[in-house]
Chain A
Amino acid sequence: MSGASGGTSAGTGGRVRGGASGSRERVLARVRAALADVPADEPVARSWERDYADSHAEGDTLDVLVDRLLDYKALVERVSSAELPDRIAAALERRGATRVAVPEGAPGEWFASVTARRLADSPGSPLSVAELDACDGVVTGCAVAVAETGTIVLDAGPDQGRRAITLVPDYHLCVVRADQVVDGVPQAVRLLDPARPLTWISGPSATSDIELNRVEGVHGPRTLEVLIVESAD
């Protein structure tokens, strides 16, 4: 059994409550008693090497990402960085979006051609839930994207904003730079900081709860549109 440090000291963070009857100690004692068969000197440190693949190469990274996103019924376009402002504006117009939420830290050049009204959001001056609900959509960047699983990860960075802004509006336009795309899940996990709140998004919201068939569009944004930006113009 592993050595336990025992006891917790008061710190700057939250609290620990043991329950009315010392349940913390009771549960830990039960765990230790249950593990009586584990040798006392068995190391807690991992004693084996990981032997699985970082990715399961299936072709060109961006091609795979596009294929997976389309499979989830997301809308996808590959654009050059020079085209990006016009493509963002065009996407919002196609959508008929006239009020869009935008994280305060999103690059200004993204919106050079946009005519829709932009509502900036930041943790310091957040839009209310009602204001978000009244938005036609939201435009953000991302932290990482995973080609193999068609996943975009948001980490609440400056160009992504609070989690609520990509949740309440019904349309999410996400800008993914080609250099943010990795092939496999392990590569993405290594790039991400668990201290930040993360949202992994794989297509629009969906459910498989009715006869186990996937239906797109429930509580999250029902339309996900992805612009993949390749810098070599």
Chain B
Amino acid sequence: MSATFLGLPPFPEAARTAVGDSRTRQNLHKATRTIRGKRDAVVGELGDDWQRLRSEGERVKTHTLRHLDHYLEQLEESVRRAGGTVHWAADAAEANAIVTRLVRETGETEVVKVKSMATQEIELNNALEAAGITAYETDLAELIVQLGDDLPSHILVPAIHLGRSQIREIFLDQMSEWGVPAPEGLTDDPKALAEAARVHLRELFLRAKVAVSGANFAVADSGTLVVLESEGNGRMCLTLPETLISVVGIEKIVPTWSDLEVFLQLLPRSSTGERMNPYTSTWTGVAPGDGPQEFHLVLLDNGRTDVLADTVGRQALRCIRCSACLNICPVYERTGGHAYGSVYPGPIGAILTPQLQGMASEADKALPYASSLCGACYDVCPVAIDIPEVLVHLREQVAEGPGHVGEKAMMAGAGAVFGSAGALDAVQRAAGAVGGAIPRNLPGTAGKWTDTRDVPDVPKESFRQWWNKREQEEGR
């Protein structure tokens, strides 16, 4: 069974451990600084037009979400007309069951996979494994995570937390367990590591009969699916097998083919910081004599309609999974992705995960607080998701729920004190008198509050006391 996010500790606890890992912090600092620089350069190239494209991306996605039922039915009909088969999955279990059944119907026991957040989210690989089907991840970073029995820590580059020497060790240790072993004398030169991945996966690509993918976009009017990638592993999976199964979240729709002209500019520049990613594949149903002759589209809800029902939170469904918000986030840069305990880490994960999962667990309730609300994520978001707005909105929901009685009582007490000059004066005198005797950490439930806050030193006298004394001394 592959690693899972289930049961990981809530963010505050996980973050405390993560920031103590200096190697991961170094890796993340280096990687996020590199990508931020590249993004800034290629976004800057488009000048003022970037903001116009960004607004258009926001408008198109918002419009699509407001008419999602219409566009889903249109997409279904377009794909069907082009020779594809459309399936609907209300939740992860149903999606996994559909994919498992489709693979079984081919008689195959292995599938090659294109990197896909949706299949990570539903933990498809575990479901396939339980059914005796081996799923091979083919994206380099996904391969590293799979070989290392690790968890993804970034939307675009799931192995961002690992440096080249760690990747080399994983390749040397694990490649032979899965197929073609790493070459002897493998160095940690990224070129050599990429070559080792090529050799490891080559034969698999050439023999694979079934592929599973996600999609970056699904075009309602034409029925076209779109995958952006870099390495060519996507093309291998989308082109060579006989059967292609694509698991796609219902929010991935854009209404028209021409809308892609916006997103094919926004996404590469925001994600890898390139003018264009090396390969983009688009396909519409089945092309006779070219590529898979059997195509299945699995439309996935799995909590998305719950997000859609929240008029403030639904903007999270505009997300095109570029990861610019992760790369810019000061919290993410220090904690890394694992601390978020979800396949969607970083600022977008902090608003998406609790909404998809319903904020029932302590881990989900903690996520909206995994932010300093600095707003950098909003500034770089190519579809202008106001992440801080949603974070505050979700915090309100957490605070309105049970478990915050003590904090509310304290805040009510503070309100009474600050509302009365006499009361404030009395409290300040008392605090100044006991000074250092004020505890830094409170016991019990209140301890949660004090654990994450520093108590400032209490001055011997308050400003008001000092001012009154000064007035008296100067005789004014």
Q: Is the CB of B240 within 8 A of A218?
A: no
Q: Is the CB of A199 within 8 A of B230?
A: no
Q: Is the CB of B82 within 8 A of A195?
A: yes
| Stretch of A90-98, A109-117, A147-155, A225-233 with 4 or more beta carbons under 8 angstroms from chain B | A147-155
A146 closest partner in B (C-beta)? B276
B66 closest partner in A (C-beta)? A38
Whole-angstrom distance between the Cβ of B302 and the nearest chain A Cβ: 10
Q: Is the CB of B157 within 8 A of A14?
A: no
B296 closest partner in A (C-beta)? A14
Q: Is the CB of A220 within 8 A of B232?
A: yes
Contact of A4 among B45, B69, B230, B261 (CB under 8 A): B69
Q: Once the chains are docked, how many angstroms separate the CA of A92 from the CA of B120?
A: 43
Q: Once the chains are docked, how many angstroms separate the CA of A5 from the CA of B71?
A: 11
Q: Once the chains are docked, how many angstroms separate the CA of A140 from the CA of B378?
A: 43
A215 contact set on B, CB distance < 8 A: 190-191, 194
Interface size class on chain B is 35 or more
| Stretch of B51-59, B369-377, B382-390, B461-469 with 4 or more beta carbons under 8 angstroms from chain A | B51-59
B133-167: which residues lie under 8 A (CB-CB) from chain A?
A: 138-141, 144, 157, 159-160, 163-164, 167
B314 closest partner in A (C-beta)? A34
A105 contact set on B, CB distance < 8 A: none
B256-286: which residues lie under 8 A (CB-CB) from chain A?
A: 257-258, 260-262, 264-265, 268, 272, 274-286
Interface string of A195-218 (1 = CB under 8 A from B): 111111111111111111111011
Whole-angstrom distance between the Cβ of A64 and the nearest chain B Cβ: 10
Q: Once the chains are docked, how many angstroms separate the CA of A14 from the CA of B265?
A: 32
B309 contact set on A, CB distance < 8 A: 33-34
B231: Cβ under 8 A from any A Cβ: yes
Q: Once the chains are docked, how many angstroms separate the CA of A42 from the CA of B157?
A: 39
B472: Cβ under 8 A from any A Cβ: no
Q: Is the CB of A150 within 8 A of B70?
A: no
Q: Is the CB of A19 within 8 A of B85?
A: no
Q: Is the CB of B80 within 8 A of A217?
A: no
Contact of A2 among B34, B70, B275, B311 (CB under 8 A): B70
Contact of A212 among B31, B201, B258 (CB under 8 A): B31
A60: Cβ under 8 A from any B Cβ: no
B81: Cβ under 8 A from any A Cβ: yes
Q: Once the chains are docked, how many angstroms separate the CA of A214 from the CA of B288?
A: 35
B14-59: which residues lie under 8 A (CB-CB) from chain A?
A: 27, 30-32, 34-35, 38, 45-47, 49, 52-53, 55-56, 59
A121-177: which residues lie under 8 A (CB-CB) from chain B?
A: 122-124, 126, 129-130, 133, 146, 148-151, 156, 162-164, 167-168
Q: Is the CB of A167 within 8 A of B89?
A: no
B379 contact set on A, CB distance < 8 A: none
Interface string of B186-219 (1 = CB under 8 A from A): 0000110111011001100110000000000001
Contact of A1 among B67, B85, B305 (CB under 8 A): B67
Q: Is the CB of B163 within 8 A of A194?
A: no
B88: Cβ under 8 A from any A Cβ: yes
Q: Once the chains are docked, how many angstroms separate the CA of A211 from the CA of B29?
A: 10
B224: Cβ under 8 A from any A Cβ: yes
Contact of B236 among A167, A202, A203 (CB under 8 A): A167
Whole-angstrom distance between the Cβ of B207 and the nearest chain A Cβ: 8
Q: Is the CB of B73 within 8 A of A4?
A: yes
Q: Is the CB of B53 within 8 A of A52?
A: yes
B301: Cβ under 8 A from any A Cβ: yes
| B interface, over-half SS | helix
A66-108: which residues lie under 8 A (CB-CB) from chain B?
A: 68, 72
Q: Once the chains are docked, how many angstroms separate the CA of A209 from the CA of B155?
A: 11
Q: Is the CB of B69 within 8 A of A28?
A: yes
Contact of B279 among A51, A188, A201 (CB under 8 A): A201
B81 closest partner in A (C-beta)? A13
Q: Is the CB of A202 within 8 A of B278?
A: yes
Q: In this complex, which of A42, A58, A218 has the most chain B Cβ atoms within 10 angstroms of its Cβ?
A: A218
Contact of B299 among A5, A27, A37, A208 (CB under 8 A): A27
Whole-angstrom distance between the Cβ of A183 and the nearest chain B Cβ: 13
Query: How many residues on chain A are close to B (CB under 8 Å)?
Result: 93
Q: Is the CB of A13 within 8 A of B80?
A: yes
Q: Is the CB of A209 within 8 A of B157?
A: yes
Q: Is the CB of A14 within 8 A of B90?
A: no
Q: Is the CB of B34 within 8 A of A211?
A: yes
A6 closest partner in B (C-beta)? B73
- Knowing A28-B73, A206-B231, A211-B34, the reply to whether A17 touches B275 (Cβ < 8 A) is no
B350 contact set on A, CB distance < 8 A: none
Whole-angstrom distance between the Cβ of A23 and the nearest chain B Cβ: 4
Q: Is the CB of A211 within 8 A of B68?
A: no
Contact of A211 among B38, B87, B190, B232 (CB under 8 A): B190
A39 closest partner in B (C-beta)? B66
Q: Is the CB of B260 within 8 A of A189?
A: yes
A59: Cβ under 8 A from any B Cβ: no
Q: In this complex, which of A130, A149, A186, A194 has the most chain B Cβ atoms within 10 angstroms of its Cβ?
A: A194
B425: Cβ under 8 A from any A Cβ: no
Q: Once the chains are docked, how many angstroms separate the CA of A210 from the CA of B141?
A: 8
B119 contact set on A, CB distance < 8 A: none
B66 contact set on A, CB distance < 8 A: 35, 38, 42
B129: Cβ under 8 A from any A Cβ: no
Contact of A13 among B82, B250, B257 (CB under 8 A): B82
B123: Cβ under 8 A from any A Cβ: no
B69 closest partner in A (C-beta)? A31
Interface CB pairs A-B, < 8 A, 21: A14-B83, A14-B295, A27-B250, A27-B305, A30-B301, A34-B305, A35-B308, A56-B49, A162-B290, A194-B282, A198-B280, A198-B283, A200-B281, A200-B282, A202-B276, A207-B140, A208-B230, A211-B190, A215-B190, A218-B198, A220-B279
B contacts, CB < 8 Å to A: 27, 30-32, 34-35, 38, 45-47, 49, 52-53, 55-56, 59, 63, 66-70, 72-73, 76-77, 79-90, 94, 97-98, 138-141, 144, 157, 159-160, 163-164, 167, 190-191, 193-195, 197-198, 201-202, 205-206, 219, 222, 224, 230-233, 235-236, 238-240, 250, 255, 257-258, 260-262, 264-265, 268, 272, 274-291, 295, 299, 301, 305-306, 308-309, 311, 314
Going nearest first, the 9 A-B pairs with the smallest beta carbon separation are: A220-B232, A123-B289, A2-B70, A219-B232, A34-B309, A218-B231, A30-B305, A200-B280, A149-B276
